Chains A and B, each alone.
Chain A
Amino acid sequence: MTASPENPAEVQEAVRGASRVLPHGAGTKPALSGVPGDDRAADGHGAADGHGAADGHRAADGETGVVCLDLRALSGIVEYDPAELTLTAQANTPLADLSATLAEHGQYLPFDPPLQAAGATLAGAVAAASSGPGAFRHGGVRDFVIGVTLVDGTGRLVHGGGKVVKNAAGFDLPKLMVGSAGRLGIMVRLSVKVLPAPRAHRDLAFVAPTRQAALELMGRLGRGPVHLDALELDEAGRLRVRLGGAEEVLEDRARRLAGFVGLDPADPVDPGEGQGHGARQDTGHSDSQGDGLDPIAWMPAGSRAVRVVLNPAQAAVLLDTLGAVPAPLRLSLGANLAWVAWPGDRPLEELDRRLTKLGLAGMPLTGAPGPRPLLGSAPGGAFARRIRAALDPDHRFLEL
């Protein structure tokens, strides 16, 4: 069964009336919003077009007894004053709408969530913790969510955090929602911090002689003199760097960066997008949506996009492990994150095992859902179990 609540009270009602419940927005991340075991939920990352996913949810009914909550009606900006650098919106407001409104005032979502063109929503970005490449500069989703209203597993409507940038009152429920995959509470309203958007961009690419050299360079760039908006090692082994800021100094900074790196910039050609050659400069565009840095667009058709979280020191071993599959990946955010294109014909359980072995954790976003959204070694132990039990004592939410 699918319910389509139109306001928080209806969400509460729906939760109370169901024995199992799974929320979804536009369905751009079917691996999280689809009911496990239901292969029709999505195929490949075809759901990225924003259609069809919701049908998949409907089809799930009956087989699992899970009520799918379509929350797309909970949309719209509630409060936004550019001078506050904060924005409050109904949880399932499309990110593209937020970005458009922010851009009118020269501001942006600094965590650069992907899949905006496909219709991804704010709550979806929070639930998936999907920080994009542009998050290198100021931080990821967890650094920008400051307030939440959610419906817990007992159907209670509760608030955490607030709508001011600095707040130390009460437990930080907003952060807890980041990466919760719709399994700890159903977000109905969110407040986020926003920032002035860099006025211009310049993308550069460098090819280091070896993988080891590329990884070392990545570390050096991360603490180098030129502050970067993005720092990626793409699937072809090229370092992809984005500079952002005032136009008048971009050229000098790019030169300085090249000097620091000690390599000539390579052509940042993007295989997926067929982006133009050479350094690119584009004003009025402040995130990585649909351009050469898009974390998902490059993936081979039929693969599932999986976020794998790592420490930069673990990058080499992850590259080895997944290279053996082979599963191409892009190291993002200075190797704090990997976007893995997991082949559609390989079971997620295999990735789960490989990540567990490395002590890493990941979460698939696209493709059919696995048995659980969380792959690999999930930290949290007893703390996680106890918090989950308090938020969802009747086990209405699905397994993490």
Chain B
Amino acid sequence: MDVIAALGELGLGGRLLTSTAAVAAYASDGLAAFHELPRAVVLAESAQEVIAAVRVCHDHDTPFVARGSGTSLSGGSLPNPDGIVIALNRLNRVLAIDPDARTARVQPGTINLEVSRAAAVHGLEYAPDPSSQQVCSIGGNLAFNSGGAHCLKHGMTANHVLGIRAVLPDGEVVDLGGGSTEVAGPDWTGLFCGSEGLFGIALEVTLRLVPIAEAKRTFLVAYDSLERAGDAVAQIVAAGLLPVAMEIMDELAMQAAEASVKPNYPKAAALLIVELEGETDVVAADAVLLDALLADSGAASVTSTEDPEARALIWKGRKSAFSAVGWLAPDYIVQDGVVPRTRLGEALVEIGRLGSEAGLRVANVFHAGDGNLHPLILFDGREPGAQERAEQLAGEILAMCVRFGGSITGEHGVGVEKRQYLELMFSEDDLALMGELRRAVDPEELANRGKMLVPLRDRVA
């Protein structure tokens, strides 16, 4: 019996998709440059169905990919040709919230923002906020250790995942961690987070919640150069302030945002967004310090607001920036490198130089507080050679990040897209160990095969 027939015996009915149109819709995720047709898609509605589907795949030596909302920017849920997609988007319930313990137990397809919506009645929220938070799922966040604009203070997804029930690639179910912020014994939960689906599929996740800050003040600061904006970030940190977010957008990125959601940003070469949150008194006191500091930072203008609607618009502009670049050019590549934050200015100059050498426009949007760059390389795919030049430029930017002591990815993950650059960061031994860890858990390399690590079979061939 082949794998499709075996899946057919799971009683999924219309939730086993095999028609060409249905599987075609699953060919790509948020990285549309890559597409592969899976053999079938399983629309799971329970953890039992996920486990059963994984076991069938394992028994038939068939690779499988878990998919939540399909928003990965590194091709994290790109199907394998002849593989199976296990769609988790219907497993989208918040199972329990314990307000005193400040935890939420959710299914993996739960939309990131829905966790905060469900927790709001208790005065709590889920802190990690990727720009796609209204659509991306917790399972995907967990697999790729997603970040967001507010990592500076709150950390990344892995810092907020306390426990995982997961099915390993051979169908065995394990419990990692629990409901505590602390660990006794090795942090297996921490290792599973960010493993890009290579260790299996999360079935149930316990998340840490944080109190909703009673005051939030967002500053919009205009500068006549990116360097000045970058310097201001360093000054803010040096002054001992701990904003919850510090973001920078350059002129091109602002143009895109303006064309898209019209956030009414001031006209400037660089825009710095700084957000303070916390107790009313503390935010007020910090705002005075910050105001004085920004006034001395060579800013062209400084405004700030606590108004929820005005703040929402500022963030909408920022969070739409990637997709909004679609207004400026037919195609783009978004990168996700990290540099030490003290080298931001240098890195931006270098990106500018590399971009003009390649004859390509680069828009910059970044989590300045974390040194996490998001250069958006604009090109027109219909122009011969343009895509190749863009890809080469992307590689050069990542190499620069590593040279500066940073990382090739801050929050999007390696996926299919940055696999070739992993060796810039890690030695042969490092990668060998990662491969051994992967195969210790999944000897046949069935789970999300081809992401992050080159499968052994491909290296031998």
Contact = CB atoms under 8 A, between A and B. Distances in A.
Contact between A and B in the complex (any CB pair below 8 Å): yes
Interface of A: 81-86, 106, 129, 131, 138-140, 142-143, 152, 156-160, 162-173, 175-181, 183-184, 195-197, 199, 216, 218-220, 222-227, 245-246, 248-249, 252-253, 256, 307-313, 333-337, 361-363, 374-376, 378-384, 386-387, 389-391, 400
Contacts of B391: none
Contacts of A168: 144-147, 156, 194, 336, 407, 409-414
B182 A223 contact: no
Given A82-B238, A165-B371, A333 B342 contact: no
> Which residue among B101, B152, B186, B429 has the maximum number of chain A CB atoms within 10 Å of its CB?
B186
A362 B200 CA distance: 27
B191 interface: yes
Nearest to B431: A170
Contact of B101 (A138, A143, A219, A391): A219
Interface residues of B, number: 97
Contacts of A363: 184-185
Contacts of B193: 172, 175
Contact of B441 (A184, A335, A386): A386
Contact of B281 (A160, A180, A249): A249
B339 A164 contact: yes
A172 B184 contact: no
The prevalent SS among residues of A at the interface is mixed
A311 B429 CA distance: 38
A167 B398 CA distance: 13
B190 interface: yes
Given A337-B182, A379-B188, A383-B174, A162 B407 contact: yes
Nearest to B372: A166
Interface of B: 98-103, 122-124, 144-147, 151-153, 155-156, 158-159, 166, 168, 172, 174-195, 199-200, 211, 214, 234, 237-238, 240-242, 278-279, 281-282, 285-286, 336, 338-342, 367, 370-372, 405-414, 418, 422, 425-427, 429-430, 432-434, 436-437, 439-441, 452
A196 B339 contact: no
A160 B418 CA distance: 17
A139 B183 CA distance: 12
Given A172-B145, A178-B187, A379-B177, A164 B338 contact: yes
11 contacts: A82-B237, A106-B240, A164-B406, A195-B242, A246-B285, A253-B279, A307-B184, A312-B100, A313-B101, A379-B174, A382-B174
A157 B429 contact: yes
A179 B180 contact: no
B265 to A, nearest CB: 24
Given A172-B195, A246-B285, A336-B182, 12 more contacts: A82-B238, A142-B190, A163-B340, A164-B410, A167-B410, A170-B422, A170-B452, A178-B190, A180-B185, A222-B100, A390-B433, A390-B436
A224 B211 contact: yes
A380 B371 contact: no
